[in-house]
Amino acid sequence: MVTAKDVWKSFGHNDVLKGINLQVQKGEVMTLLGPSGSGKSTFLRLINHLDTVSAGRITVDGDLVGYREQAGALHELRPQVIARMRSEVGMVFQQFNLFPHMTALQNIMEAPVGVKKEPKSHVKARAEALLERVGLSEKRNAYPSSLSGGQQQRIAIARALAMEPKLMLFDEPTSALDPELVGEVLDVMQDLAASGMTMIVVTHEMGFAREVADSVVFMDGGVVVESGKPSDVLLNPQEERTQAFLSKVL
């Protein structure tokens, strides 16, 4: 579903990603770990073409992200085409970014109706099913300010799913939550993984990485230091940098 081939990203003279090679199979959950500043968020943004790669290639479901290739040269795609590709990838951030003036139901319906121009009645049924799926049917008419952080993040996940994405990216989805609210969000993510969704999850929740992920990637300084099965990377890390990081977060 996702391949990254020798992906580089620089901001001015700052090389933030230095040759990332990764693969995520369809239906697989990959967790991405690493210290602050190692380039995790930047990598997720590149998958969605929210930033452009400096070198290398990323494909999603076989399509080159952001570009078309013609006679060996890359041409950036038109904004409408980029927007359509982006709509197939759901993204959930640390900050939930719900629309404050819309109810939970309206937040979930906004993109399919506003962006995809799907019929309202159709989208409403899907949104209600999603509310049920994240356990918040009774909050359908609630505004974000009246919801807990955990509830808001579950609505944000439902909102992303309303676009029927083929890939979901999570960037530290539980980092802004009070500890007692983390579990309800991870439960929703675990259900989603069990349903077969392909997911890349940046998280420091080691329990989730151990129990839900198919693969774990440890990044530091813009490179993949170590990757593999959770049981190998988390329980028996080979690299000193991985060992040092894990000893701090476990």
Confirm or reject binding of residue 151 to Mg ion (CB under 5 A).
Answer: no
Confirm or reject binding of residue 99 to ligand ADP (CB under 6 A).
Answer: no
> Cβ of residue 126: shortest distance to Mg ion, in angstroms?
30
> Cβ of residue 42: shortest distance to Mg ion, in angstroms?
8
> Cβ of residue 38: shortest distance to ligand ADP, in angstroms?
4
Out of 24, 29, 33, 39, the residue judged to bind ligand ADP by CB under 6 A: 39
d(Cα 218, Cα 145) in Å, to the nearest integer? 36
| Phi, psi (degrees; rounded to nearest 5) at 72 | 80, -5
Q: Which of 26, 19, 63, 13 minimizes the C-alpha distance to 43?
A: 19
Per-residue contact string for residues 18-37; x = within reach of ligand ADP by CB under 6 A: ----------------x-xx
| Phi, psi (degrees; rounded to nearest 5) at 209 | -60, -40
144 binds, among Mg ion, ligand ADP, none (CB under 5 to 8 A by kind): none
Per-residue contact string for residues 22-61; x = within reach of Mg ion by CB under 5 A: ------------------xx--------------------
d(Cα 131, Cα 116) in Å, to the nearest integer? 20
Residue 19 belongs to what H/E stretch? strand 14-24
> Cβ of residue 13: shortest distance to ligand ADP, in angstroms?
11
> Cβ of residue 2: shortest distance to Mg ion, in angstroms?
18
- Total interface residues for ligand ADP by CB under 6 A: 11
User: What b-and-e string marks burial along 51-89, b requiring 16 or more CB atoms within 10 Å of the CB?
Assistant: bebeebbbebeeeebbbeeeeeeeeebeeeebeebbeeb
Question: Residue 199 region, left (φ>0) first, then alpha (ψ -120 to 50), else beta?
Answer: beta
d(Cα 177, Cα 226) in Å, to the nearest integer? 28
Give me the residues that bind ligand ADP (CB under 6 A), please: 11, 14, 16, 34, 36-42
